[in-house]
Amino acid sequence: MIFVSGARAAFASLILVAGIATAQEKPLPTPGIAQLADGVMRPSTALPGVTEALLPQAAPSAHAANFLLLRNGDLLCAWFAGSWEGSSGVGIALSRLKHGTRQWSKPQIIDSRSGESFQNPVLFEESNGTLHIFHSTQPAGGSEDDARTLEVISKDGGQTWTAPRVMFAQPGAYVRHPLVVLADGRWLLPITFIRSKTTTENAGKDFSAMELSSDHGKTWKDCPVPASDGKIQPTVVELAPGNLLALFRSRGSDFIYRSESTDGCTWTAPTATSLPNNNASVQMKHLRDGHLVLVFNNSKTVRKPVTIAVSRDGGKTWPFLRDLELGREGYGAAEGKPKTPGREEYSYPTVTQMRDGKIIVAFTYRRETIKVMSFDESWIRTGRTANQ
């Protein structure tokens, strides 16, 4: 698709100098979203030093992206797409940015099933090139406490995929963040067990665990995180051998929580950090220079802004914060409007580091598509956050 000048101007009008679009005269759905979402990485008109794209739509609704940088330099992005989260046939979408190019591919639905709703794909590549996608599934129209975790595998770089198999059958088994290969070769997959019907009703019963495998995923050891009730969707990094850090979403809509481990199975009880959380997912990445980056909603209420933070001390402090997306003014509580693509929501970020050192982030963009942004680490340190 060619991105014509008129569409480019329309896109620029959505992301003015502060990253905010004038919204008072606009409906919830983004005007011309299908044309704007062409997948081409271009310099941002609002944020010098940033390149960005809206990924092509696979379906009317999109949510919960995750990246995987392949060994050949290609970048994969997976998310779930369909009519709306929880509906029949919602499937796993996959798009690819080939190494050295700036065009994301048209997404393909690689896994879906009538009567079920798939969610939260997690990508992983083995050293032999085998690709895995782990994702949750629940009965269409049901609730997350009935979820299971499935797995699909590709032996040809993501061109074709196996039929899904059940990976974790325990009711409420829910994945969200990438698998970590530990220094000793074990696989660690963070997981949440949902015990609640909704994100608020009895949500304090939901808890986290780490699944550990010493045989490349053939068997798994379940390691519950103590006192993690209401602390879910852990994102994990190994700072050094025997030094692991996890950060958690809080059902209490208060703060991001942290826990530490020396072996991946025994974890400290989560404690609050100084960073806010709005009962939405956050994601952390260990950079090659030893620093950490964290992408989250810098709010205890709505799912905006999307903010990135840098830590130089292993996640103890986060002195550098910069907003990536502020959203539109004048929409108030529209983020919470149910089952409405175009609602005011920017959430569920994923972050990784490219071969050239650039940081790349993706997140849910108004539940209509996925937005991708790329920049240098130094760019973060020259900005600010509106909620600081």
- 52-103: pLDDT as tens digits: 999 999 999 999 999 999 999 999 999 999 999 999 999 999 999 999 999 9
Distant-in-sequence, close-in-space partners of 156: CB < 8 Å, separation ≥ 6: none
Distance CA(119)–CA(116), nearest Å, equals: 10
Q: Are 288 and 357 in contact (CB under 8 A)?
A: yes
Whole-number percent of the chain with pLDDT over 70 = 91
What pLDDT is recorded for position 368?
96
The pLDDT, as a whole number, for residue 12 is 37
Q: Is 8 helix (H, G, I), strand (E, B) or coil?
A: helix
Asked if residue 90 lies in contact with residue 80, where contact means CB atoms within 8 angstroms, the answer is: yes
Amino acid 193 reads F
Report, as an integer, the average pLDDT of 343-352: 96
Tell me what the pLDDT averaged over the chain comes to: 91
| Cα angle value 261/267/269 (rounded, 5°) | 125
The pTM (predicted TM-score) of the whole model is 0.92
Please report the pLDDT score of residue 247 as a whole number. 99
Per domain, the residue ranges of the chain are 5-380
Rg (CA), the chain: 19
pLDDT tens digit string along 314-335? 999 999 999 999 998 877 666 6
Q: Around Cβ 2, how many Cβ atoms within 10 Å?
A: 7
State both tokens at 283. 């994601």
Q: For residue 27, is the peptide bond before it cis, meaning its omega torsion is within 30 degrees of 0?
A: no
We find that the CATH architecture of domain 5-380 is: 6 Propeller (2.120)
Residue 35 dihedral angles phi and psi, to the nearest 5°: -80, -40
DSSP assignment of 155-176: SSTTSS-PPPEEEE-STTEE--
pLDDT at 2 over 50: no
Q: How far apart are CA 337 and CA 241, in angstroms?
A: 45
For the segment 297-302, the average pLDDT, to the nearest whole number, is 96
Residue 135: C-alpha distances to residues 1, 111, 118, 185, 348 (Å)? 30, 10, 7, 23, 15
- pLDDT single digits (tens) 178-190: 999 999 999 999 9
Is residue 21 predicted with pLDDT exceeding 70?
A: no
The Cβ-side half-sphere exposure at 93, using a 13 Å CA radius, reads: 25
Phi, psi of 203 (to 5 degrees): -70, -20
Q: Which of 289, 225, 287 is nearest to 257 (CA)?
A: 225
Question: What pLDDT does residue 15 have?
Answer: 36
Average the pLDDT over 108-132 and give the result: 97
Residue 204 pLDDT exceeds 60: yes
Residue 231 confidence (pLDDT) above 90: yes
Query: Predicted confidence band at 10 (pLDDT cuts at 50, 70, 90)?
Result: very low
